[in-house]
Amino acid sequence: MLIAVMSGFAGALLAPAVCGAAGKRTGWILAALPGGLFLYFLRLLAAGGAVSTLDWAPELGVSLAFRADGLSLLFALLISGIGALVTVYSGGYLSNHPFLGRWFLYLFAFMASMLGLVLADNLYLLFIFWELTSFTSYLLIGFNHDEEASRAAALQALLVTAAGGLALLAGLVILAGVTGNTGLSGMAASAELLRGHPARVTVVVLLLLGAFTKSAQFPFHFWLPNAMAAPTPASAYLHSSTMVKAGVYLVARMHPLFADDAVWHTGLVVFGGATLLYGGVRAAAQTVIKRMLAYSTVAALGVMMLLFGIGTEAAVHAAVAFLFAHALYKAGLFLVGGAVDHATGERDLRRLSGLGRAMPLTAAAAAVVALSMAGVPPLFGFTAKEHVYAAVLASPAVAAVTVAGALLFVLVALAVGVRPFLGRPLDTPKHAHEPSPSLWLPPLALAAGSLGFGFAPGLLDRALLLPAAAGVLGESLAPSGHAAHGGLVLGLSAATLVVGLGLFFARDRIRGLLGGFRLLSPGEPENLWNAGMRGMVWAAGAQTRAIQHGYLRGYLTLVFLALVLLTAPVLLRHSPEVGRILHSRSLSALLHLRFHEVGLGLLMAVSIGAVVHMRTRLAAVAALGVVGYGMAIIFILFGAPDLAMTQFVIETLTVILLVLAFYHLPAFAPPARRVFQTGNLLLAGSVGVVMALLVLVAADEHHPTALARYFSDNSLSLGHGRNVVNVILVDFRALDTLGEITVLALAALGAYAVLYLKPRGEGGKP
């Protein structure tokens, strides 16, 4: 199975080359890959599933584990089968597109990710493919990225799904932490561990967030209709059978784990129902083919969530049946819509009429899939709807919602699939004509599917749907034929059709009616989302302007403030010890201090003060020099002649440099405002105090250290030198010195370069 998935990615990489070679025929040739996968999965279905595992990152619990059960295979077959049709279709639809190769690259990469997602048997592996579908679909939706609309739609889709994806990731990490394993098939077993665990609700909410964003549930639905900016084949593929069904798949997969969780079920039922109504109503109000289909897709996804939320055997069975039916007819309708658009250059349903004569084959396909969507017997859509009704009857409220949705489905089906082909032809931008086979064959195939399975529902049940349902529930079901649903269900279906027909004829009035709801648009989730993003960017800008303001002294203030705030508390925490040290020190100070040392201290103090206060640069530099020479004297007094000499010469050179450098600079500017100054004074003071305390703390220990003894013992005998400091510099710790002279060299080169390398146009060589 790993190979099956990888073949998809391999095909993606090869696609551009094939495209370059095959030209017009590309679609047909490339379709061989998904077609082959389709057959492969059929074989797996016959074999009753398969398992394969390979380690990836065991430390993290990530493994390339794949498992094909009924549910996975249902999805896999849809993905590969419809994938093949879409491949053929887009070969014709985009035949003269300059970047057809890239198109197939993205398409196959997406298909492969989708297959991986439904076959994965490992939490993290599932997530990895989940994210892969997110950004491959991003590339598909934004395929025409020269248009602003496409870019925006693609970005929105990516961000919404990615946000959900991160919620999902968080949920999965917590889940894995609780259950202690990341295998999906093992999950059902660990349901016990989760029961009554504090993190349970969090996990449920996070997983649902992931599923809802991906499957465009209200209020996260808005990216889906916008994603119609994608070329039609992509829309057909993403929104009929794949991308948006990933969330549904996740919910189905997780069903055994949360079978008895109230939050899980209510969440699904409520949001599913809301999505169904919202999507249906918005769909009825559309006039453009693709948008109408998009909203009806949203509604359909609502139905599936709703059914999985109910979670009874019947409901799950109905869910998979409806899922299958929807995949067939929705893909068909999208493809037909695309064909019509392609052939006439017209997308507005109000200006499409009487195309049946011009494009009979397309019309035939359209009629069948549309009627299947409407739920007209004997098409499979009818069977599926029977199952659905039977499943929801238990609760009147849910039933009402479902029926209402079904009515709107009838409307949409007739409006998109039937109306444009009947009546008197209108003239369209392009003269209507039957498009090339690659455009009418795929929809026709899907229509045939809807028709065929309508006649043999039992066969389909046994072969595919019941195993799928079993995959969801974790136990197998008894086959349930039509007879199971009583007359009530049948009556409802009939009524749905009649009333739906009525709504269809009244659709213009309905649209007008719904037009009145524009007032609500500020509250539309999409606007809220956009406002949220804008707010985020604004806040980001505000905080960045606030802290990254460009004033060096502001930065330094924060740094030193942090220094004090980090060290002072520790010193306070150990104040007794610090106190003891201070005490002993002050005593020793009184006893041992000598006169010239006090004088030296005063000299230092005065000259330091002078450096701060001098009004002219040269005076300040002179004061700095005094400080330096004071240091040298200290070194002499406390047994460090080498230091004294070095310090003395260096100080001299430094002063010369300072004079050379400041020669050009203007006089000191007037000091900043007093408020600042007092603040600075406080900060500087506290830094000084902290450092002084730390020095005392350090000097508290007994010396000389073991190192000191070792050096003075071995300096002569092993280091051949009586000046221990020098021996340390050139032998014991010569590496320090090496680094140090490197610093010097770099400093010199740097200074030279800074002074003499000038950018072009500013004199000097470039």
Partner 1 sequence: MELLFAAVVGGLYAAGVYLLLQRNVVKIILGLALLGHGANLLIFTAGGLTRARAPIIAEGALSAPPDTADPLPQALILTAIVIGFGVLAFLLALVERTHQVVPTDDVDELKGTDT
Partner 2 sequence: MNSVIFRSATRYMFPILLLLSVFLLMSGHNEPGGGFTGGLVAASAFVLYALAFDTAEARRRLWLDPRYLIGTGLLLALASGVVGLLAGEPFLTAYWVNVPLPGGGVAALGTPLLFDAGVCLDVVGVSLLIIFSMADVDRGEP
Partner 3 sequence: MSLPLTLPLLVPLTGAVLCVLLFRSPGAQRAVALGVSLAHCLAAAALFAGVRGGGVAAVQISGWPAPFGITFVADLLAAVMVCAGAGMGLCIVVYSLFALDRGRERFGYYPLVLALLAAVCGAFLTGDIFNLYVWFEVMLMASFALMALGGERPQLEGAIKYVTLNLVSSAVFLSGAGILYGRVGTLNLADLSLAVDTHLSPGLLTAIAMLFLVAFGIKAALFPFFFWLPASYHTPPTVVAALFSALLTKVGAYALIRVFTLVFSHDIGWTHPVILALAGVTMLTGVLGAASKYDFPKILAFHIVSQIGYIVMGLGLFSAMGLAGAVFFMVHNIVVKTNLFLVAGIARRLTGETHLDRLGGLCRARPWLAACFFVSAMSLAGLPPFSGFFGKLALLVAAARTGHWTVFTVAVVVSFLTLYSMTKIWTHAFWKPAPEGMPDPAPGRDPETDRAVAGMLIPVTALAAVSLLMGLGAGPCMRLALDAAEQLLDKGAYIRAVLGEGAA
Residues in 616-655 at the binding interface with partner 2, rule: CB under 8 A? 641-642, 645-646, 649-650, 652-653
Place of tokens 């139905």: 303
Please choose which of partner 2, partner 3, partner 1, none residue 656 contacts, taking the beta carbon within 5 to 8 angstroms, the exact cut-off set by kind.
partner 2
Identified binder of partner 1 from the candidate list 151, 286, 653, 678, rule CB under 8 A: 653
Q: How far is the CB of 567 from partner 3 (least distance, A)?
A: 5
Q: How far is the CB of 726 from partner 1 (least distance, A)?
A: 8
Q: Which residues, numbered 50-69, are part of the site for partner 3 (CB under 8 A)?
A: 55-60, 62
What's the CA gap between 376 and 454, in Å, rounded?
10
What's the CA gap between 749 and 766, in Å, rounded?
17
With residue 56 as reference, give the H or E element that holds it.
Answer: strand 55-57
Closer to partner 3 by Cβ: residue 266 or 548: 548
The DSSP code for 195 is T
Q: How far is the CB of 757 from partner 3 (least distance, A)?
A: 4
Tokens linked to 418: 């039937």
Closer to partner 3 by Cβ: residue 288 or 697: 697
What's the CA gap between 375 and 405, in Å, rounded?
12
Identified binder of partner 3 from the candidate list 97, 102, 197, 291, rule CB under 8 A: 102
Tokens linked to 447: 């229509």
Q: Which residues, numbered 701-760, are part of the site for partner 2 (CB under 8 A)?
A: 719-723, 725-727, 729-731, 734-735, 737-738, 741-742, 744-745, 747-749, 751-752, 755-756
Identified binder of partner 1 from the candidate list 191, 703, 760, 766, rule CB under 8 A: 703
With residue 236 as reference, give the H or E element that holds it.
Answer: helix 232-240
Residue 506: what residue type?
A
Does 532 bind partner 1 (CB under 8 A)? Our answer is: no
Measuring CA to CA, which residue among 330, 331, 328, 322 is closest to residue 382? 322
Closer to partner 2 by Cβ: residue 475 or 642: 642
Q: How far is the CB of 622 from partner 2 (least distance, A)?
A: 17
The DSSP code for 671 is P
Does 89 bind partner 3 (CB under 8 A)? Our answer is: no
Please choose which of partner 3, partner 1, partner 2, none residue 124 contacts, taking the beta carbon within 5 to 8 angstroms, the exact cut-off set by kind.
partner 3
Does 664 bind partner 3 (CB under 8 A)? Our answer is: no
Does 189 bind partner 1 (CB under 8 A)? Our answer is: no
What's the CA gap between 526 and 298, in Å, rounded?
14
What's the CA gap between 215 and 221, in Å, rounded?
8
Closer to partner 3 by Cβ: residue 486 or 750: 750
Identified binder of partner 3 from the candidate list 46, 47, 96, 146, rule CB under 8 A: 146
Pair 271, 217: CB distance under 8 Å: yes
Sequential DSSP letters for 684-705: HHHHHHHHHHHHHHHHTS-SS-
Q: Is 588 left (phi over 0), alpha (psi -120 to 50) or beta?
A: alpha
Please choose which of partner 1, partner 3, partner 2, none residue 624 contacts, taking the beta carbon within 5 to 8 angstroms, the exact cut-off set by kind.
partner 1
Does 739 bind partner 3 (CB under 8 A)? Our answer is: yes
Does 624 bind partner 1 (CB under 8 A)? Our answer is: yes
For 406, half-sphere exposure in the C-beta direction (CA atoms, 13 angstrom radius) is 30
Torsion angle, CA of 390/394/398/403, rounded to 10 degrees? 30
The DSSP code for 670 is P
Q: How far is the CB of 713 from partner 2 (least distance, A)?
A: 16
Stretch that binds partner 1, among 107-115, 378-386, 431-439, 739-747 (CB under 8 A): 739-747
With residue 108 as reference, give the H or E element that holds it.
Answer: helix 100-119
What's the CA gap between 415 and 109, in Å, rounded?
34
Identified binder of partner 3 from the candidate list 21, 570, 606, 661, rule CB under 8 A: 570
Does 754 bind partner 1 (CB under 8 A)? Our answer is: yes
What's the CA gap between 530 and 397, in Å, rounded?
33
Does 669 bind partner 3 (CB under 8 A)? Our answer is: no
3-state DSSP assignment of residue 183: strand
Q: Which residues, numbered 575-594, are part of the site for partner 1 (CB under 8 A)?
A: 585-586, 588-589, 592-593
What's the CA gap between 583 and 603, in Å, rounded?
25
Closer to partner 2 by Cβ: residue 592 or 722: 722
Closer to partner 3 by Cβ: residue 476 or 544: 544
Closer to partner 2 by Cβ: residue 39 or 746: 746
Q: Which residues bind partner 2 (CB under 8 A)?
A: 641-642, 645-646, 649-650, 652-653, 656-657, 660-661, 719-723, 725-727, 729-731, 734-735, 737-738, 741-742, 744-745, 747-749, 751-752, 755-756, 763-765
